[in-house]
Amino acid sequence: MTTRAAAAAVIALAACAASAHAAERVVADDWYAVRLNGTHAGSVHTRVVADDATRRTVTTTETKLLLARAGSEIELVLASRVEEDAAGRVVAFGTRQKVAASETTTSGVVDGATIRLRQDAGTSELAYPEGALGPAALDRAVLAAGFAPDTVTRLRAFATESPAQASDVAYRVLATEPLRAAGHAGDATLHRVEVTEDAARGRTRTLWLDDAGRLQASRGELVGVGRMETERTTEERACAAPTAVDVLATSFVAPDRTIHEPRGRRHAVLRLARRDGSRFDAHPPEDAGQSVRRADDDAALEVTIDVWWARDGFRAFRRPVQDASLERYLQATPWLETADLDVRALSAIAVGAEADALACTRRIEQFVRRYVLDKTLDVGFATAAETARSRRGDCSEHALLAAALARAAGLPSRVVLGLAYLEPDAAPGVGRRGAFGYHMWAEVLVAADTWVPMDPALGGFDATHLALAKSDLAAGTGTSQLTGPVVDAIRDLRIEVVEVR
């Protein structure tokens, strides 16, 4: 189980759904209670079954968490099923992610060096990441290396949520100690192991394993929420009624001063630093009016945001844009279903007969702003097609629908995850100075090397938007292109408003 997998759910793979027979044996069937910031918020169930006849192992994991945003409860369910051969190479896998009412599924079969991936938006082929191992093989390798202090085992993990990208993982044995050292009752002697994963941007998790290598407890961080702890327990205790943990209030970053009338700002300079004085080493993107420079003290970054396209004229593309090098920004994905009939119909209504790329961008932004009627926080992360039918959602639903309408109109688009400034008391937890909070918007390529943002959720883009990550949401990458850089940036973040106008 990994904390970066804490946003998905279970799938029954047809390719792996052969009926049980006598050669199958249950290797593990474990339940874990999950605490977020000390509150019981959900459960994890892991089951490992080995087939001695085929020498294959199937690992299924389901995580359930109850979260809240501004009083709206959201159930987050992640499940995965991974089948691997005797060498630990994945041969088939599947995931199902459910956030509130929004659901996405993925399944894949490995054929030689090729992953044949099936997602809600269609099928695709990916290269199998070299050396990537399934979860059962990872556990065997750690156990084989032993638990002598300072033992380090480096492996490559197959990631079901982003199968095109294996993650390099390092396991380091720290000590052997009683279970109570992990903050839990009991006198069992366990091995404390520190796990560092490149997909988590160097963040570490701590595992407590028994002599057989079975996980007994863990401690880490769930981005945007805080401390996440698990403890092996009974099914009854793990599935006890959870308490919703607020993910909105904990994500706000208050700047050093209030920004008045933020939606009208066309220029801003923000200084990004770590509260503990250490070097801010994240790398915000530099385009679409955003530029970055290292501050004179070398510890901080200064980010300048300019809404220059609102005042400068330039020659925009005419749609549809036909350029093979831009295909990744034009194609359908599991989140941006550009072939969906509702999405295509809405795109045609939004742009009408307009052919100018910049004018189309503004038309789509205004259209989505009006079209999404129920501005609610209880949806989760719906796809463009789901939002086209429900007309409900928050910034992510606005952004994905806008990006999909642009692609359906023949305009390259991508989505952006970052922070946007909210005025004082605009939402619970914002505070009297206002605060920067997680936000998503979209960008359209309107001319050569010229990306222009659109933010239908806030009614338009302004200079208090700080971009942290951008993604084409391509098949096989999941949302890892977005979450990884954000994990890097938000840790202990301090924001100073140097200039705004």
- What tens digit of pLDDT does each residue of 370-416 get? 999 988 777 767 889 999 999 998 899 999 999 999 999 999 999 99
Quote the distance between the C-alpha of residue 252 and its chain's center: 18
Helix (H) or strand (E) holding 353: none
Do 331 and 220 share a structural domain? no
**Separation between Cα atoms, residue 105 and residue 101, nearest integer Å:** 13
Which of 264, 177, 195, 184 has its CA nearest to residue 217?
184
Q: Tell me the range of 6-15, 67-76, 492-501 where mean pLDDT is highest.
A: 492-501
Enter the DSSP assignment of 477: S
Do 325 and 234 share a structural domain? no
Residue 292 placed within a domain:
no
Do 242 and 325 share a structural domain? no
Q: Which residue's structure tokens are 């910049």?
A: 358
Are 98 and 77 spatial neighbours (Cβ–Cβ below 8 Å)? Answer: yes
**Separation between Cα atoms, residue 22 and residue 12, nearest integer Å:** 21
Work out the average pLDDT over 9-19: 27
**Separation between Cα atoms, residue 468 and residue 312, nearest integer Å:** 25
Chain length of the chain: 501
Are 11 and 106 spatial neighbours (Cβ–Cβ below 8 Å)? Answer: yes
Do 28 and 137 share a structural domain? yes
Enter the DSSP assignment of 308: G
Per-residue three-class SS string for 104-128:
EEEEEEEECCEEEEEECCEEEEEEC
Are 453 and 416 spatial neighbours (Cβ–Cβ below 8 Å)? Answer: yes
In this predicted model, which residue has the larger pLDDT, 171 or 97? 171
Q: Which amino acid is at 61?
A: T
Do 368 and 238 share a structural domain? no
Do 131 and 24 share a structural domain? yes
Residue 336 placed within a domain:
yes
Identify the band that residue 474 occupies on the pLDDT scale cut at 50, 70 and 90. confident
CATH number of the domain enclosing 426:
3.10.620.30
pTM of the entire structure? 0.77
- Interstrand relation of 374-375 and 392-393 (parallel, antiparallel or unpaired): parallel
Residue 163 placed within a domain:
yes
Do 203 and 92 share a structural domain? yes
Residue 289 placed within a domain:
no
210, 225, 246: which is the final residue of a domain? 246
Residue 364 placed within a domain:
yes
Count of CA atoms in the C-beta half-sphere (13 A) of 443: 27
User: What local confidence, expressed as pLDDT, does residue 497 receive?
Assistant: 96
In this predicted model, which residue has the larger pLDDT, 28 or 313? 28
**Separation between Cα atoms, residue 194 and residue 180, nearest integer Å:** 17
Which of 58, 59, 57, 105 has its CA nearest to residue 78?
105
The yes-or-no verdict on residue 23 having pLDDT over 80 is: no
Identify the band that residue 436 occupies on the pLDDT scale cut at 50, 70 and 90. very high
Do 125 and 10 share a structural domain? yes
Token pair for residue 451? 């990306």
Work out the average pLDDT over 131-156: 96
- Interstrand relation of 72-84 and 56-69 (parallel, antiparallel or unpaired): antiparallel
The yes-or-no verdict on residue 454 having pLDDT over 70 is: yes
Count of CA atoms in the C-beta half-sphere (13 A) of 196: 9
Are 129 and 90 spatial neighbours (Cβ–Cβ below 8 Å)? Answer: no
Q: Is the dihedral of CA 194, 195, 201, 202 positive or negative?
A: positive
Residue 261 placed within a domain:
no
**Separation between Cα atoms, residue 115 and residue 90, nearest integer Å:** 10
246, 269, 285: which is the final residue of a domain? 246
Do 325 and 227 share a structural domain? no
Identify the band that residue 358 occupies on the pLDDT scale cut at 50, 70 and 90. very high
Q: Is 295 exposed, middle or buried (0-12, 13-18, 19+ CB in 10 A)?
A: middle
199, 218, 246: which is the final residue of a domain? 246
Do 213 and 79 share a structural domain? yes
Q: Which domain holds residue 471?
A: 321-489
Longest Cα–Cα distance of the chain, Å, equals: 73
Helix (H) or strand (E) holding 486: helix 480-490
Token pair for residue 283? 């790398």
Q: Is 21 exposed, middle or buried (0-12, 13-18, 19+ CB in 10 A)?
A: exposed
Residue 273 placed within a domain:
no
Q: Is 325 exposed, middle or buried (0-12, 13-18, 19+ CB in 10 A)?
A: exposed
* CA dist 186 → 227, 231, 236, 399 (Å): 22, 12, 19, 48
User: What local confidence, expressed as pLDDT, does residue 197 receive?
Assistant: 86
Q: Tally the domains of the chain.
A: 2
Do 337 and 468 share a structural domain? yes
Identify the band that residue 8 occupies on the pLDDT scale cut at 50, 70 and 90. very low
C-beta neighbour count of 17 within 10 angstroms? 11
Do 221 and 133 share a structural domain? yes
3-state secondary structure of 340: coil
Residue 293 placed within a domain:
no
